[in-house]
Structure 1
Amino acid sequence: MTPAVILNIHLALGYVPWLLCFAVYIWPRLKTMEPLGAQRAIATLHSFRFFGLVFLIPGVTGPDLPAGFAAFAAYGDFATGLLAMLALLGVARPAIFWPLVVAFNVVGVVDLLGDYYHGVMLDLPGHAGQLGATYAIPVLYVPLLMITHVAAFYLLARSRRHQPATT
């Protein structure tokens, strides 16, 4: 198998164990929590996305990692992580917390979808070895991030449905 085929298999199969784990262990807990607590837990996970800046460190990634992929992935993760941290800092003020929850989830999904797009357009699988130590990020971490973004949006929609109408 070529490195490109292996990376594509890893990218696809990275979702399987996370979906299984999420369905059995994480989702049952999240959906029974108060909306603020559930979103706070998701924001905590995403607050670690500052780590995406590692794509820009020479020597951690190879010199031939497509710059368009590395920069978009790094700064998208960084922005998402900062927004998640701000949401956590604003948890005591709902007027601040909830818009930041929406913001970090929107920015995070755009980042991940953009990373997949750039990965395809710039032939990231053909440069799989250039990911170096960051190889684990798209294979192990990104699936959980995407799954929790979907869960966050679902929980936001569900909590809006259950709020009393204001006149």
Structure 2
Amino acid sequence: MSPATIFNIHLVLGYVPWLLCFGAYIWPRLKLMDRGEAQRAIATLHSFRFFGLVFLLPGVVGPNLPAGFAIFAAYGDFATGLLAMLALLAVRRPPIFWPLVVAFNVVGIVDLVVDYYHGTVLDLPDLAGQLGATYAIPIIYVPVLMITHVAAFYLLARPQHKAAPGAGDEETGGLSSLRSPSSAR
């Protein structure tokens, strides 16, 4: 099998275990959580996206990794990670938290879609060896990022359930202030 074929198999099959895990363990919990808590959990995962800057480190990636892929992937991940961290810092201020949640999800999903586009146009599967130590990022990490962005948008779009007064305080560690402004009234 060619390296390009192996990379494409890895890329596609990277979604299978994450979808199975997400469907069995993560999604059922996210759906039951307060809207703010669910977004906070997703933001926590995405706050690690500063790691994407590794695409710019010589010696970690090969010298022939296309700059058109590496630069956008690195800075798109970095921007998403910073926005997710800002959202986490603003968690107790809903008027700031919610726009940051939307921002990190929009920037993050655009980053991933453009990375897939660049990877296709620049024939990344034929250059998969140039990913070096970062090979695992598109195979293992990107699928869960994409899945959680889709989940975040779904959760943002669905109506917020009216919670009983004080409900969820034990489960959220007293963070009931994360409810959307409309549900806090």
TM-score tier after normalising by the smaller chain length = over 0.9
The 3-state SS of whatever aligns with 1:104 is: helix
In structure 1, runs of 5+ residues without a counterpart are none
Aligned length: 165
**Partner in structure 1 of residue 142 of structure 2:** 142
Query: How many angstroms does 1:161 deviate by?
Result: 8.6
**Partner in structure 1 of residue 121 of structure 2:** 121
* Equivalent-residue separation in structure 2 for 1:105 and 1:21 (angstroms): 21
CA contact (8 A) 1:35 1:159 kept: no
CA contact (8 A) 1:42 1:152 kept: yes
Q: Which amino acid aligns with 1:157?
A: A
- The 5 Å alignment of 1:87-126 reads 87-126=87-126
Query: How many angstroms does 1:159 deviate by?
Result: 3.4
Q: Which amino acid aligns with 1:78?
A: F
**Partner in structure 2 of residue 158 of structure 1:** 158
* Equivalent-residue separation in structure 1 for 2:107 and 2:161 (angstroms): 23
The 3-state SS of whatever aligns with 1:64 is: coil
**Partner in structure 2 of residue 28 of structure 1:** 28
* Equivalent-residue separation in structure 2 for 1:72 and 1:160 (angstroms): 35
**Partner in structure 1 of residue 82 of structure 2:** 82
**Partner in structure 2 of residue 61 of structure 1:** 61
**Partner in structure 1 of residue 3 of structure 2:** 3
More helix by percentage: 1
**C-alpha RMSD over aligned residues:** 1.5
Q: Which amino acid aligns with 2:105?
A: N
TM-score scaled to structure 1, two decimals? Answer: 0.96
Q: Percent identity?
A: 79
TM-score scaled to structure 2, two decimals? Answer: 0.87
In structure 2, runs of 5+ residues without a counterpart are 163-179
CA contact (8 A) 1:53 1:74 kept: yes
